Amino acid sequence: MLVKVPLELDECLQPQWDRTRLAFVCAPLGFGKSEFAHRMLQDLDVLKIDAATADVARAVTVQDAEKHDAVLVDNIHDSVTNKQGFALAAVASRCTSTRFVFLSRAPMPGWLTPFFANGELLIVTAEDLLFTDADIAHLLIANGILSTPELVERIATASERYPMAVAAAVVHILRDGDSTWEVSLRNEVMAYFESEFERRFDEKTQDVLLLVPLFDTIDDDLIVNALGEEEGARLLNALHHATSFITREANTWKVNEGMLDFCKWERARRCDNVASIDIVNRVIGYYESRGNFKSALELCSRLKDHSRMLVILDEHARLNPGSGSYYELEHYYHELPEDVVLSSPRLMRIMSMLESMAMSIAKSEGWYDALENYAKAPERTAEERRLAQSYLAYLDISLPHRQPASIVASVSALAKMRGGDNPELMPSVTSGLPSVLNGGRDLSPWVPSDDMTARAISKVASKALGRMGVGIAEIGLCESKFEKGEDVTIYLARVNAMLPRIQRAGTPSLEFAAVGIQCRCLIDQGDARQALSLLGALRRRFSRDDSPETRRILMNLEALRCRAWMRLGEWERVHTWLEENAPDLSERLFYMDRYVYITVCQAYAAEGRFSEARMLMAALTEYITLCDRVIDAIHFDILASIAAWRLGEKDWGRWLSHALAAARCYGYVRTITQYGGAVLPLLLEFSERDDISDAEKEQLARLIKGARAQASFYPQLLAGAVDPSELPSIQLTETERQVLRLICQNRTNAEIGELLGVRLSTVKTHVCHILAKLGVSRRAQAASEAQRLRLV
């Protein structure tokens, strides 16, 4: 006989239960609703009614209820009509000294709403009833099993914290030992669930319910389109009124994990019939008609329908050309069999772009070579050969690692293919960055001849680039002059004159680049506030659009705003942005996010987190070097030299020397001087060396002058790291420091209580004190503040 234990939840909800008179406990089968209710009503005289076997309107009268301390009504989901429910509610309203608990496997019925609105009703859901690690540990100990973190984790993973499954796991361990229980647990739980599923629903409702998990997120319109009026109404009624299988999210419903798991098991046990496949295909068509390609592809993936997947990917590529939009569907492109990709020039082009964006040059070149071989094959028709060659011309410009001999020649080649007439052949020149010069590729090799290059490109831009060519030459030329430290008044005026046309006939990325160079000029002139105002206006307008391109632009726009905040010393905003955007280095990095990554490195440096900045730069350096990205490399070298300087390392000059050499080669000035007071002392010391040439002295003099100007505008740039002597005095007790350290390790309150050997309520008290002393309202904020203030 399994020894049962109270849950951690009991202690949390007890104060709420003490302040309310009614409770509604809602969860599917096996969540321990009855056990939980019995613990809530412990030591009380309880009238227990099962709505499945009794007429509740007759069984629960005012006279009966007043004779007891509490009334417990189970199974109200199937057996209590609205009329009976309102009769129950009337009894509960009149019996003000009696407590009422209602148990259900479906959402809260409408007749309980008045109690909820008045604050008289406590609601306990399936999520509340899931076992915590502490609950599992207590159950093991109560049943004489040694509780270890490893065993608790195994049980939590195998059971998904589902109470009945946790209990079954403990029974299996008691009976079979610690080695084989996981094998039989899943089938036992699913069989238990299946018996209830078949008992509660007729065969037709079972069939339609088993289709729901294929959709993940559903709404009324989808169900009616997929199943038709009659079957749609049947399913919606079951979902909304008879189950706890879904969770409402705004205008849609998310299928709960337990239901998903059961349906996968049950569908594998049953054979899919033609009718269900037909329904799924109608859902795929529904998603396609609304432009929801990702959901359509996910269904195709589950059905292993590669031919339909290929049709959808082709349609998506036609409607949403651009590497960023392809990358959002990368998973589905990689699911296609290799022979399917090799038969399609479009797919080979996309795969080459995807691999390049994922910073895998060898794989990208492999697909490029395959496309080249396709174009050369003698069996190709003239049209097939022309299409493949146009894609190759596109890739020559778009792939950041390819180094064409002449950008003008590459653009001209694309113009001959009339790339501007085909959205698929418009390269992502800016890649969502606020730059043309340092956009999809680094145009540094052509900066020395920028005037001539800009004139040549402007002549063929519309034919080669279409909408992407509107204003591109003007923006690129202005950026080139800006990076070289020249007066850009005339060039900026040309960009501003082009802006209305860019907004009307160009692309959002080019508009961002045009506004971006205006903002960079304002920042350079000491007016970061005005730059933020321009960016704020653009941000508000772009926020109305949810396209992949606009989402990428907004991400980089926020990074540009963060750079302005760093100059203005708005460190709280910088820190918040950093916490939200710092990449997880265990995950793959994305080339098109490098502007964000460089900004993250700058913010790390500002906070004195040099090791984190170095790790992120190290993860990107190889690809940046292979792509010969001069401007990005200068940023990394400057940041590396600043980090080494501040850490007192002797080799800081090595990094600065690399940056100076690259800048001298292309005539760049503002690429370095923008670091102002952070780089100024390094430049001054470097200028005093005896081994530098006259050309280097001349360069350093110009850089020092520019850095001094920036330092006068923004004395706090990259100086956000808090000096220990300037830290506020936060008085924490030793126990509070222990709790704070565990919060920073993402430990739950229950885990903290286990580790420190204190009650959950004591842990909560410590957490409240810590939040108050740090002046924050959430645990995540407390962890960030602790790191910023060096409390851990």
pLDDT in tens, 398-441: 787 877 666 656 666 655 655 444 555 555 555 567 888 887 77
* Alpha carbons 265 and 269: distance in angstroms, whole number: 6
Q: State pLDDT tens for residues 445-490.
A: 888 888 887 777 777 666 666 777 788 889 989 999 999 999 999 9
Name the percent of the chain lying above pLDDT 90.
29
Residue 99, beta-bridge partner list: 70
Share of the chain above pLDDT 70, in %: 87
How many CB atoms are located within 10 Å of the residue 199 CB? 8
The pLDDT assigned to 420 comes to 44
Which whole-number Å values give the CA distances from 268 to 63, 186, 187, 210, 243, in the listed order?
52, 14, 12, 11, 22
The H-assigned helical ranges of 607-675 are 610-626, 630-646, 652-666, 670-673
- SS3 of residue 100 by DSSP: strand
- The strand pair at 252-255 and 46-50 is best described as unpaired
pLDDT at position 46: 92
Let me know: does 720 contact 607? Beta carbons within 8 Å.
yes
- Model pLDDT, residue 413: 61
Cβ atoms < 10 Å from Cβ of 251: 8
Between the ranges 262-271, 466-475, 561-570, 618-627, where is the mean pLDDT highest? 561-570
Residue 699 has pLDDT above 70, yes or no: yes
pLDDT of residue 360: 87
Give the CA distances from residue 215 to residues 57, 96, 329, 536, 549, in Å, rounded to whole numbers and listed in that order.
39, 45, 17, 38, 26
Higher per-residue pLDDT: 450 or 792? 450
Helices 548-568/508-524 angle, 10° precision? 10
Task: Output 10-15 pairs: Cβ under 8 A, ≥24 positions apart.
Answer: 10/36, 10/39, 10/40, 11/759, 11/760, 11/761, 12/760, 13/40, 13/122, 13/124, 13/128
Read off the DSSP letter of residue 247: E
Phi-psi region of 696 (alpha: psi -120 to 50; beta: other; left: phi over 0): alpha
| Closest among 324, 290, 289, 284 to 302, alpha carbons compared | 284
How far is it, in rounded angstroms, from Cα 554 to Cα 401?
Answer: 25
Residue 294's H or E segment, with its range, is helix 293-303
- Average pLDDT score over residue span 566-576: 92
pLDDT in tens, 162-209: 888 888 888 888 887 766 777 778 777 788 778 777 777 777 777 777
Res 787: pLDDT: 65
Q: What is the pLDDT of residue 387?
A: 85
Check whether 735 has a pLDDT greater than 90: no
The mean pLDDT value of the chain amounts to 83
How far is it, in rounded angstroms, from Cα 441 to Cα 626?
A: 12
| Of residues 382 and 428, more confidently modeled | 382
For the chain, the straight-line distance linking the first and the last C-alpha, in angstroms and rounded, comes to 46
Per-residue pLDDT, averaged over 370-387, amounts to 90
Lowest mean pLDDT among 212-216, 267-271, 368-372: 212-216
Query: Which is more confidently placed, 336 or 638?
Result: 638
Name residues whose C-beta falls within 8 Å of residue 768's C-beta, 6 or more positions apart in sequence.
Answer: none
Instruction: Please determine, for residue 370, whether its predicted confidence score (pLDDT) is greater than 90.
Output: yes
Mean pLDDT of 652-659: 93
The DSSP letter of residue 6 is -
Which comes out higher in pLDDT, residue 131 or 465? 131
Q: Is residue 358 classed exposed, middle or buried when 0-12, 13-18 and 19+ CB atoms within 10 A define those classes? A: middle
Token pair 């990917």 is found at: 313
Least confident residue range of 199-203, 352-356, 442-446, 721-725: 721-725
What is the DSSP pairing of strand 252-255 with strand 217-218?
antiparallel
Residue 104 has pLDDT above 50, yes or no: yes
pLDDT at position 214: 67
The mean-pLDDT minimum among 258-267, 531-540, 683-692, 725-734 falls in: 725-734
Residue 94: count of CB within 10 angstroms of its CB = 11
Q: Residue 320's pLDDT band (boundaries 50, 70, 90)?
A: low
Three-state secondary-structure class, residue 72: strand
Count H helices and E strands in the chain, helices first. Answer: 43, 8
**pLDDT tens per residue across span 29-74:** 778 888 888 988 988 999 999 988 888 888 899 998 999 999 999 9
Q: Taking CA 80 as the corner, what is the angle to CA 79 and CA 84, rounded to the nearest 5 degrees?
A: 145
- Average pLDDT of the segment spanning 644-660: 90
Report the alpha-carbon distance of residue 738 to residue 731 in Å, rounded.
Answer: 13
Residue with tokens 């000096």: 723
Residue with tokens 């109305």: 544
What average pLDDT score do residues 100-116 get?
A: 88
Over the range 46-73, which residues count as b (16 or more CB within 10 Å of their CB) and which as e? bbbbebeebebbebbeeebbeebebbbb
Structure tokens at 227: 């199943």
